[in-house]
Structure formats: C-alpha cells, structure tokens
Homo-oligomer: A and B are copies of this chain.
C-alpha cells in the first residue's frame, strides 16, 4: 500500500511554471521547441538589425544566448532582468540559442546609478566584497554558492546512505566543550526582559537561561550521548569561535562536520569512512557541478587521486612532514603546528 503512494506520485492542478531553466536548455532539453526563460542580462551586443543578449538565471555558470530582431527588444542594460520566448535551436558552431520572438523587461538596472559590475570584466575579491548583497551576481561567487550547496547535500546523502543519523546538536549551550576555543556568550538583547526574569541567586545576564549560555564550539558532547543509543550519528551545523584574529585561519562562524560512532575499534575502519566520503562527495561534484568547479579554478582540475588509495602514515611521520618538509608560506600557522606534539 505504501509503495502505491510513492509510485502514483503527487497529483497537482497543473504542471507549475512554464519557465525552462537555462541549465536544462543548454543540455538540449526542448531543442526545436518554443521555450520561455527568465533571467538577468550578462552581456549585450547590438548590431544593425539584431540584438544578442546573454542571459543567466542562476541554474548554471553558463549563459544562454538570445537573438532577437532589434525592434523586439525594449531598452535594456546589463544587469536588468528580462523574460524571453522563442525557438530553441542549435547554431552552426553547435551552441544552443534562443531565436526570440518576444523579449520583456522585468526589472531595470541602471549602471549609471551605481551597479558596480561592468559586463565581461573580472573583479578582484576585495572589490566584490564591498558589494556584499550583489556578490552572487558575479560568476565566481555564484559558482561558489552552488558548489557549497552541492557539497553540503552530497555529504548529508553519503552519510544517510551509510546509516548515519543527523542530530541537530544545540547552538546555544551551557558547555564550552573542553575549552576548544574562545566562546561567544548569548544574552537577550532586551534589558527590561532580563529585569522581568531576574532571580535572586542568578547573575543578571544569566536570568534568561538560569545559567551562562554560549554559542557552540562543538557538538561532540551531545553527539556522544546520541551515539550511545543510535550508534552512527553526526552533526553538520554552524559552529563559533571568538578568537581575536582577522587572518584567513579564523572564522567567527563556520560549518563543521562531526561524526560519532559506537562499536568502532579499528583505526582503518575509521579512515575508510573518511576516505570514502571525500571520494564520493568529490565524484558527485565532478559529475554534477563540473562547470562550477571550472569557473572557480584558475587551473585544470586534477582529480586522478580519486581512484587511488590514500596513503596512511603514522602521526609522527605526518608531523615531521608538516613541520620540517612542507614548503609553506604560512609561518604563523606552521609555528602552531610545531607545538602540536603527539602526546
């Protein structure tokens, strides 16, 4: 009976959204058919009779070319959002493009009123960072966001297939996890609320939780408890450190993956879990997000390692490589690794 539910699918009033994604159109879905797309203009070339528009809709780093007779195209600029409909066909060079019979403006974009990105120009990260809210409009950052999404989901699915259960360990916690790092404390912002909740033997700031509360630096302790009932568990959520550092090695907030597993007594079994996961997730990204990887990489992507066994060496040997043989440009970090002796 349950099989029937999922097999017969979900009935709905209509096949919602007639819009095709640019990813699907570049993959030849609907070649020779009339299509409808919506997206942002990445580049614009006007010829005497014809206008060419490169359109991107966030589904892929690649843009789809729209060709239209000039009279059908409203006054638009790069950065504006448009819809277009027409025939999807292949050019002599094998590129898919839309021969548009209609192009409509959705939202304008005035370059002279401050839109910071000119067409076909690449910007340095420090420039792009000045326009945080527009950052996803750049090709590289959009690919980073798609890759992060894909990698995050691939990790979850890999662990699920291997029977690990995701535990949402608490973000606000009363433990500082064995002093793993500098912590942030959490206090209600509303002073009046704290006054209303005040208790005799509790410090004013702690009135809300009746104890001091921190942002988590690790879900380990909560995971260990869960592992003693569910066996294979993990958490993969935001984690926090309040270090006084603005180096590349510090983030106040980041996502951390932690696994706990009962009944694991062989180091090689544990290393297998890690090696398999890294290879599976990488293979998934190579298969589904290759153009995003190419967009982010300055050089050819090297992935022959995926089919080789990871070398396994004793900790002492690894420490020797890191401290003595590794040609690192990061002296501060190296120094801290040098202190990390095997105990």
Contacts and interface: CB of A to CB of B under 8 A. Distances in A.
B287 A6 contact: yes
Contacts of A128: none
B182 A185 contact: no
A189 B185 contact: yes
B188 A186 contact: no
A118 to B, nearest CB: 16
A142 to B, nearest CB: 6
A25 to B, nearest CB: 13
Interface stretch (A15-23, A43-51, A68-76, A322-330): A15-23
Contact of A58 (B196, B214, B229, B242): B229
Interface in A130-164: 132-134, 136-137, 142, 145-146, 148-149, 152-153, 156-157, 160, 163
Interface string A23-64: 100000000000000111000000000000000011100000
A92 interface: no
Nearest to A275: B12
A167 interface: yes
A268 B14 CA distance: 10
A254 to B, nearest CB: 9
A116 interface: no
B184 A188 contact: yes
Contact of A12 (B172, B185, B208, B272): B272
Contacts of A16: 268-269, 272-273, 276
Nearest to A272: B16
Interface in A233-290: 237-238, 240, 242, 244, 252-253, 255, 262-263, 268-269, 272-273, 275-276, 279-280, 283-284, 286-287, 290
A81 B262 contact: yes
Interface of A: 2-3, 5-6, 8, 10-14, 16-17, 19, 21, 23, 38-40, 57-59, 81, 83, 106, 132-134, 136-137, 142, 145-146, 148-149, 152-153, 156-157, 160, 163, 165-168, 170-172, 182-190, 193, 196-197, 208-209, 212, 214-215, 225-226, 228-232, 237-238, 240, 242, 244, 252-253, 255, 262-263, 268-269, 272-273, 275-276, 279-280, 283-284, 286-287, 290, 303, 306-307, 309
28 contacts: A2-B287, A5-B303, A6-B286, A10-B279, A10-B307, A11-B309, A12-B272, A14-B272, A19-B263, A21-B163, A58-B229, A58-B231, A59-B231, A81-B263, A83-B263, A106-B263, A132-B225, A136-B228, A136-B229, A153-B157, A156-B156, A157-B157, A171-B215, A172-B215, A183-B190, A184-B188, A208-B242, A208-B252
